[in-house]
Amino acid sequence: MMNIAFIAHDRKKDDIVNFVIAYEHVFKDKKLYSTGTTGLRIMENTSLQIQRFLSGPLGGDQQIGSLIAQNEMDLVIFLRDPLLAQPHEPDITALLRLCDVHGIPVATNMATAEILVRALDRGDFGWRELLEQHKPGLS
């Protein structure tokens, strides 16, 4: 099963809610995760169930990063606000770095999110499922 994380900065929360509403049919059979308020807002506006972590500034980004480091995340949609400094910027940078290190597709804006979710809907993420079948055990 595909694992997807949703994260959005405050001024992007309406955007991510509207995005998930538009693609609810794609997300309905996936395991969904989110930082606190973002997940709550999505669940209030859809029929989706989301495992919520702490809000980003309180460690939610790091909790999602932990799943990425364990190769337990397949896609991250992180709508960032590039015009506002974030107090937890080091955590954001670490999360994006983990996505790069572990080859996890990550969208940080609506255009990339749209492309990745359309690919997911077409079945283009089969390569992630192959990786899951051949995941080495932790030692």
Annotated binding site for substrate: 9, 13, 35-38, 55-56, 88
Annotated binding site: 9, 13, 35-38, 55-56, 88
- Name the active-site residue from 29, 61, 74, 124: 61
Catalytic residue flag (residue 61): yes
How far is CA 87 from each of CA 59, 72, 139, rounded to the nearest angstrom?
12, 27, 35
Which secondary-structure segment (H or E) carries 75? strand 75-79
Torsion of Cα atoms, 56 then 41 then 64 then 3, to 10°: -170
- So which residues are the catalytic ones? 61
